[in-house]
Amino acid sequence: MIAIYARVSTEEQARYGYSIPAQIRECQNLIGSEPAQIYADEGVTGEILERPALGRLRARIEQGQIRRVVCLDPDRLSRKLLNQLLLTEEWQMLGVELNFVNGEYSRSPEGTLFYALRGAISEFEKAKITERMCRGRREKARQGRVLRDFKIYGYDFDPQAEQLIANEKEAIIVRQIFSWFTAPPRGMRGIAGIARALSSAQVPTKRGAVCWHRQVIRQILSNTTYIGEFYQNKWDTTGRTVQLRPRDEWILIPCPALVDLRIFTKCQALLNQARRRYSGPESDFLLSGLVRCHRCQQPLRGKTLPKRSLYLEGNRGGCGLVVEKELLEARIWKWFWDLLQKSAHNNLCPEPDFLIRRELLRILIKEIRINQGEVIVVTF
């Protein structure tokens, strides 16, 4: 049996006019009137091998059901040279013939070299296009323009001005969500209770559904857009997984604030408390999650040994910083408590217990950085 494989990504269809039917038609012209099974991945990047149709094709080949594969061009198989070579070697070992409409692949040293060169050029072109598009989007964001409609509840996208504008009907619901979370009415418990209340009232979501999920409510409560801070270039989507970029690469786009800053800050404190309760019992390390090495930027974790307790770096990289728990905590807390007392105009009061100490530190301090010389830098 002959198989035709076709693939197009959303970007390629928009930029070059590639289409699945056009690829299939060209491949069918190559094989003439012979019947063929069609395997097509539409809107899928060529940089990964985990594609639905390609996965089914590989399974049929393994089962011995396919003896010939026809494809428009090597970069339809993959945009990465390594993946192209992997597929061709895999199918060659299973006795499968591979044909391309644009160029013939021969199993000879010259054919392999030519195939590899075409793959390398294709991979380079893809990387160049991606880099150019990313650079253009970043420049557009730096000019204060919103790149597209991000479907943020409470806002509409104005394509002419390229800005977020408040959606007054949705803004009322956003404020209600924050109000319910900070001061819940009787019978309503937490995020799940808010989701149930909105679903019961048949309030439509951004996409028009009437079923609200807890995760959607949580995302609204933690989204800084509602205090007028919308960030672009925040996520890196160029790899296989989506990753958060470093904070200094984010691009701030001011937008209408829907929620008061004090209410938003209170919500973040309540969310943090809920996360800690969910994650189980707290440790007895006062500075847990706050301490980082000043030199290598590695976070320090608490570790209890038979006769001592330490703050130390993890096993991956770093410069091996180790600090005694009692000495560091005593020094940080004394500095912090003295600062609080001075700000209170020497209105002395009893020192709080451990749990309140930790809560105060986490609310008011973002990060504590230290090094072997006990130089301490505190970020509020």
Active site residues: 9
Provide the Cα torsion 279, 285, 289, 295; round to 10°.
-150
Q: Which residue has the tokens 């969910």?
A: 278
- H or E element that contains 149: none
Q: Do the beta carbons of residue 27 and residue 77 sit within 8 Å?
A: no
Task: DSSP letter for 245, please.
Answer: P
* Length reported for the chain: 380
Q: Which residue has the tokens 């969500």?
A: 177
Task: DSSP letter for 352, please.
Answer: P
Give the number of other Cβ atoms within 10 Å of residue 225's Cβ. Answer: 22
Q: Which two tokens stand for residue 215?
A: 């995760």
Measured CA to CA, the distance from residue 159 to residue 147 in angstroms comes to 9
The string of DSSP codes covering 182-215 is HSPPTT--HHHHHHHHHHHTT---TTS-S---HH
